[in-house]
Chain A
Amino acid sequence: MKKEKDWLFVLPAILIVAVMTQVPFVLTLIYSTLRWNLARPDLPIKFIGFNNYLHFLKIPNFPQLPEFYTILWQTITMTGSTLIICAVVGFLFSILLDHDIPGINIARVLILGPFFVMTTASGVIWKTTIFNTTFGWYGVIAKALGFTPIDLLSYRPMGVIVFLFSWQWTPFFVLIILAGLQGIPGDVIDSMKIDGANWFQSTFRIKLPMIFHHVMVALMLGLIFIVKEIGLILVTTAGGPGTRSYNLPYAVYMEIFNGSNVGRAGALAAMTVIITLLGVNLLYKMAKKRKEKY
């Protein structure tokens, strides 16, 4: 058996993935060092080192932070709070769905549904049938209760986006955490009951530590996928008002397709990747540290 033959199995897959993801990424890194503005063909494309990065990172008059830091902070709070809500609500839902009641599979299917809905569809549906102040459920109910409905999308853009992200991603957490709960051996549950552990103890002292690894996996995958998401932002708040609900990928998108500034967009994209990797790495280290403890 020739050993080289095994390469033939892997090579086509490597080739297409490399051409579609790695090569463009390396090119993006190269672009990020260029002065290249599609809207200014009069300026020649020129190597300018780290100037594009400095454009975003530089703090000219100190206490006032430039926009990049606001958007960075928005990205962190948006993703962070979504992940925390997803983990907490996802854990509670999983505890509920772990009960043996008639029709539990239907309940599981209902909770899981939102995860498989395309973000642009769920975004416009929430926007028009629920958040709309005149025609939506929110507006109608608020009026019936005697409140004046405010336009949530412009007054609480971050809240709305975190809410919608959480609605979409909690099912994913349930999927993974529930699998963890069902993997807890039956004798652990039995001895827990015999020892007379109450609900609180059994849930948070016994079950939670046993499925901690599943929560970490869900958090890591959630982070990877949620940071990428810009369709939902585009259809609901379009980043607005102003830049108040931008996240980094959305800022990159606007820099290319509205600003036409390839160099700066490249620099922003590179920083987005670095920050995502830092986040994933942080979670991975936390998970590993915990694993060593137990």
Chain B
Amino acid sequence: MQGDLAKKQTMYKIKKRIRTPILTVIIFGIAILYFSPILYMFLTSFKTEFQAVSPKLFFKPTLATLSNVLSDKNMFGYLKNSIFQVFFTTFFCLLLAIPASFALAFGKFKKKHTNEKIYVWFITTILLPPVAVIIPLYTWFQRFNLIQSPFGLLIAYIGFHVPIVVWMLHSFFSDVPLSIIEAAQIDGCSRFRQMTSIAIPLIRTGILSAGLLVAVFVWNEFFLGFNLTGNTTATLPVYMARFREQQGMFVAQLSASSTIAVLPAVIFGWMTQKSLVKGLTLGAVKG
């Protein structure tokens, strides 16, 4: 019996030794192939326009195209608008959503299920497709001339992204033991102090990743940015959409611009992935 088990174990070890390299090759083959369009875009941004005409993997790299694109006034304006929107949307979303989700997790309202009802209401607003609200928003923006002001889009972005932050933060706040909050209450801590000195420090990472996630969403958001902005207020996704008419022309310029547009989101996205799963799945289980 003992010998049998030992035999089985060695067989298992041998099997594993053969399997690991094969699996490594397969997994990396698939992963690289899957990522290849982005990789190729990244490579092409180091080509000159002339080199980019034919799809080749080996060439003499140059920084000329990238620096050209970055020094282009047009591109710079879009980049600036995008950074403005991302920064302020994230800031205000957190400012509004942290107290809201804190109160939804620990607050007491007159009626019993109020917390749950408000939470569910926030979730249902996520379901709403932007096309269902764009008509009134567009007419308001025209009337109050918000199209030419970056604050118009900012307000719309805050309204659309607060529910996502509430959703994510709710699952993190729910992890904070109620007893800690109650103990603070008995010690005479005000609600505001309970939030700022006890709950927020405990879920720092959750707040950070919710913020990063909103930043990525806003950075990539196209539909509202496309319809609610003018020439001077449009963001990067709108700029990228302009390349749709250029059939195979200016490939290097296109690649360099998209590299700049894509890289920050991909890097920030990778940083948030772990908490993203937790926030989304837990929220969805309850909702």
Contact = CB atoms under 8 A, between A and B. Distances in A.
Interface of A: 1, 3, 5-7, 9-10, 12-14, 16-17, 19-25, 27-28, 31, 93, 96-97, 99, 101-104, 106-130, 132, 134-137, 140, 167, 175-176, 179, 213-214, 217, 220-221, 224, 227-228, 230-231, 234-236, 238, 249, 252-253, 256-257, 262, 265-266, 269-270, 272-273, 276-277, 280
Contacts of B254: 124-125, 128
A284 B166 CA distance: 21
Interface in B27-58: 27-28, 30-32, 34-35, 37-38, 40-41, 44, 53-55
A27 B54 CA distance: 51
Contacts of B37: 114, 122, 125-126, 129-130, 167
Contacts of A270: 132
A234 B251 contact: no
Given A24-B136, A269-B131, A3 B110 contact: yes
A135 B138 contact: no
A272 B130 CA distance: 11
Interface in B233-280: 236-238, 240-241, 243-244, 246-248, 251, 254-255, 258, 261-262, 265-266, 268-270, 273, 276-278, 280
Nearest to B241: A120
Interface centre among A112, A136, A224, A277 (most CB of B within 10 A): A112
20 contacts: A17-B122, A17-B163, A20-B160, A101-B24, A103-B24, A114-B37, A116-B220, A118-B219, A121-B261, A122-B262, A126-B37, A128-B248, A167-B37, A224-B126, A231-B223, A234-B244, A256-B135, A266-B135, A270-B132, A272-B129
A135 B219 contact: no
Contacts of B96: 12-13, 16
| Main DSSP-derived SS at the A contact region | helix
B159 A20 contact: yes
Give 8 nearest A-B pairs by CB, closest first. A20-B159, A116-B269, A6-B107, A9-B103, A231-B222, A24-B133, A13-B100, A118-B220
A111 B241 contact: no
Nearest to B40: A129
A181 to B, nearest CB: 12
B11 interface: no
Given A103-B28, A111-B34, A6 B109 contact: yes
B248 A28 contact: no
A226 B216 CA distance: 17
B95 to A, nearest CB: 9
Interface of B: 20, 23-24, 26-28, 30-32, 34-35, 37-38, 40-41, 44, 53-55, 96-97, 99-100, 102-104, 107-110, 118, 121-122, 125-138, 155-156, 158-160, 162-163, 166, 185, 191, 195, 216, 219-220, 222-223, 226-227, 236-238, 240-241, 243-244, 246-248, 251, 254-255, 258, 261-262, 265-266, 268-270, 273, 276-278, 280-281, 284-285
A23 B155 CA distance: 14
A107 B261 contact: no
Given A9-B100, A104-B27, A136-B248, A120 B132 contact: no
A221 B284 contact: yes
B237 A121 contact: yes
Contacts of B277: 175-176, 179
A273 B270 contact: no
Contacts of B134: 24, 252-253, 256, 269
A280 B124 CA distance: 11
